[in-house]
Amino acid sequence: MSTPPPNPATTLIHHPYRAPDGFDAALVPTHRASSVFFKSMADLRARRWVDKSGYTYGLHGTPTTFTLEAQLATLEHATHVLLAPSGLAAITAVDIALLKSGDKVLLPDNAYGPNKDFTRHELAGWGIAHALFDQQDAASLAALLTPDVKLVWLEAPGSITLEFPDLTGLVRLIRQQAPQAVVALDNTWGAGLAFNPFELGDGLAVDLTIHALTKYPSGGSDVLMGSIACRDDGLHEQLAWSHGRLGWGVGPDDVATVLRSLPSIALRYAAQDASARAVAQWLQGQRGVARVLHPALPGSPGHEHWTALCTQAAGLLTMEIDARYTQREVDAFVDALTRFRIGYSWGGAVSMVTACQAARPHVAAPKGEGHGLRSLPTPYAGVLVRLCIGLEDTQDLIADLAQALTRLPA
Ligand SMILES: *Cc1c(COP(=O)(O)O)cnc(C)c1O
C-alpha cells in the first residue's frame, strides 16, 4: 500500500533537504539539538558519547561542542576535554565526580575564592573534609597529605595575590606522600599558553586542569563557560559519566562564540602580557604604590618559580597601595579610573579593576580561613587593587592610572 503524499504540516517537519558534502568554511556550523536521530534501534544501542565516537543527545555533545573540546585539548596539551556552563561549574563537577563522603580535599589558601566557598559550604555538608595549605610553603602541604586525601587543587599563580608556586615540587611531593590523590590545577591564568601542566619536567604532570573559558578563550566578556581537561582515559571516563549524570550542558551559541574567539587567543594573550608587564613596570615606584605583584617581576612572590616554568604571563597584576591610605581613599582612586571598568572577571578587551576590601590584616580572615576576596592569605598591609589588562593602548592605560593616582592625598 503506497502512502499518500504528506500534508505540508508534515513536510515542514520531515523536510527532505540534506546538506551536501563539500561545504567547507573556517568555522563549524552551530548545531542546535536536544534530540539527535538514530537510523535504527540497533544504531541507538550501539552509539557511545563518552569517547565521542557518536552523538546520542544534545546534552552529551554535538559537532559544535566536540569541535571546541578538540581545540581545547590541543590548547591545554591534553587528550580529553569536557565543557561546563562556567569555570566554577568545571571546578564543582571535578569535586562531585571524584569525592565521596569520608574523603578529604586540599586547596591552596590563595585559591579562587568560590572554589573554597563550594568546599566549605557544600562539600562539608556532604561529609567531605577539607584543609587549606600555603602553596609557597611545601611543608604546609606535606603536613596534610594523609591517606584520606583524594583530591588536591593547585592554582598557578594564586588568585588576587598572584604568588607563583613551585608546581613541579608540589606535584612531586603529592606523588610521593599521597599517591592515591588526584592532582587538579586551575589553569585559567596559564590558559594552556604560559606553561604545560601535563609536562612539568622530571616526568611529573597534574592529572587534570580546569579552565574558565569565560576569560581568555572567550575574550569578549560576554560568555560564561568552563572546561575540564585530562590525558588519562580512565580518569576522563570517570569525569565524563559523572558530568553526564549532572546534566550540566552548554548552549551551542555560547560554544560558537568561544569557537570564534579561540583562533586569536595566542595573539591576545601575548599582547595583554606585554601590556601588563609595561603597566607593572611603570607602577613600581609611583607615589602611593607600596608594591606591585606580578609573577614576571623580580621580587614578586614566586618569581623564581615562574621563571623556571613559564615564558609568558596573563595580563593580571595587583598593586598594594601604601598602608597609610584608607579604604575610602583607595576607592576614590579606583573610582577615578576611566579606562579601567570596575568589575569581576578578566581576559576581555576592556581593562578591569577591583579593590580587595579586606586586605588589611586586622580585617582579613585568619590564615587558613578563606572567604573569597576576603581570604587574602598573605599579610599585605595595604589595600590591594587588582588590574586586568585589556586590549587598549598601553600608554592610554598608564595615563589613566597616572591621573587617578593623583587622587591619593599627598
Ligand atoms: C574566573 C575564574 C574561575 C571561574 O570562572 P567563571 O566562568 O567565572 O565561573 C575559576 N578560576 C579562576 C582562577 C578564575 O579566574
103 within ligand 1 shell (Cβ under 6 A): no
- Going by alpha carbons, the residue nearest to atom 10 of ligand 1 is 87
pLDDT of 251: 96
Burial grade of 386 (CB within 10 A; 0-12, 13-18, 19 or more): buried
Identify which of 88, 92, 161, 354 to mutate to test ligand 1's pocket (most ligand atoms within 8 A of the CB): 88
pLDDT of 360: 38
pLDDT of 18: 84
Q: Which residues pair with 133 in a beta bridge?
A: 108
Identify which of 107, 112, 160, 254 to mutate to test ligand 1's pocket (most ligand atoms within 8 A of the CB): 112
Ligand 1 closest atom vs CA 88? 9
- Residue 367 CA to ligand 1 centre (angstroms): 22
User: From the centroid of its chain, how far is CA 148?
Assistant: 26
Cell of 183: 592532582
pLDDT of 378: 55
Q: Which helix (H) or strand (E) holds 316?
A: strand 316-321
88 within ligand 1 shell (Cβ under 6 A): yes
Question: What is the C-alpha radius of gyration for the chain, rounded to an integer number of angstroms?
Answer: 24
228 within ligand 1 shell (Cβ under 6 A): no
Supply the DSSP symbol for 15. -
- Residue 328 CA to ligand 1 centre (angstroms): 28
Residues of the chain with pLDDT under 50: 358-377
3-state helix, strand, coil in the chain (%, to 5): 35, 15, 50
pTM: 0.93
Nearest to 190 by CA among 170, 166, 209: 209
Burial profile 130-158: b = 16 or more Cβ within 10 angstroms, e = fewer: bbbbbbbebebbeebbeeebbbbbbbbbb
- Going by alpha carbons, the residue nearest to atom 11 of ligand 1 is 112
- Residue 188 CA to ligand 1 centre (angstroms): 7
Nearest to 187 by CA among 318, 80, 91: 91
Count of CA atoms in the C-beta half-sphere (13 A) of 116: 24
